[in-house]
Amino acid sequence: MAVETYARIQPWVKISEGGYVNDRNDLGRATNHGITQGTLSAIRGYDVSVEEVKALTYQEALQIYRQEYWVPIKGDQLPAGLDYAVYDFAVNSGVSRAVRFLQEIVGAKRDGVMGPFTLSAIRKCGKSVPEIIERLCEARWAYMKTLGSWKHFRIGWTTRVMGRRTGVQSDDIGVIDRAVMLATSTGEPIPDPKPYQGGKARCEDKKVLASWLTPDGITKGAMAASGLSGILAGSGPVQWACAIALVISVCVGGFLLIRNERMA
């Protein structure tokens, strides 16, 4: 087990996460030391301002990392290398998601909670630690490709997780090989990650579902319903053709609205 790994890998996570950013394409929005405005608000118990995020010290961020990410993934109880792969995934995409992906690989119940059954499954699944690491990082990378922010951060995310394995022009070996090196303990020096431009790789499906509940979405829906009822009040092929055209336009408009929300 790897109780001592946390101190070794935290500088790597610090480099990967960087300092203060507030990129409109980043799902985390205002973020400092990898801690988002939403995470900091939840921890402090009130809605923090962007200025408070900007003022977050690295020492407080370290406490948050351990409390909110390392402890929930049971980092001290995971094999060396796998602890880093799961931890970096959790910091970037959330603890529950990182654990669920791991549980899928080792055959444990996918409840998103790192408990004794998942820890036991890691030992008994018949896969070596390097194999689990590689499959986890590959699944993580595949998940990233499904996100609306992929087009903005694909190079940075690929570099962070997969490094040179994908042919990206980078001198970074990525989490995947760095974690395997930790797991195999060859004694070879492990290079630090390279700073990159990235963002939080988290799905924001709730935002998409809520897009129709905005004043603009409700108004558009009401106008469409009113127009459709007016058309159907008449009769004949012209009215029905207009009704069909309106329904199609509403569906297309809804698709475009959802797509734009995903890309925001």
Query: What count of other Cβ atoms lies within 10 Å of the Cβ of residue 50?
Result: 13
Residue 32 β-bridge partners: 35
> Each residue of 171-194: b (16+ CB within 10 Å) or e?
ebbbbbbbbbbbbeeeeeebeebe
Distance CA 203, CA 147 (A): 6
pLDDT tens figures, 125-148: 999 999 999 999 999 999 999 998
144 and 150 Cβ atoms separated by less than 8 Å: yes
Compare 187 and 57 and report the one with higher pLDDT: 57
Distance CA 12, CA 192 (A): 6
- Evaluate if residue 262 carries a pLDDT over 70: no
Tell me the two tokens of residue 85.
Answer: 């792969």
CA 228 distance to own-chain centroid:
40
What average pLDDT does the segment 193-218 reach?
55
Which of the residue ranges 160-164, 198-202, 229-233, 240-244 would you say has the lowest mean pLDDT? Answer: 229-233
242 and 250 Cβ atoms separated by less than 8 Å: no
Which of the residue ranges 22-26, 156-160, 176-180 would you say has the lowest mean pLDDT? Answer: 22-26
65 and 91 Cβ atoms separated by less than 8 Å: yes
Query: pTM score > 0.95 for this model?
Result: no
What average pLDDT does the segment 68-91 reach?
97
Band (pLDDT 50/70/90 cuts) for residue 236 is low
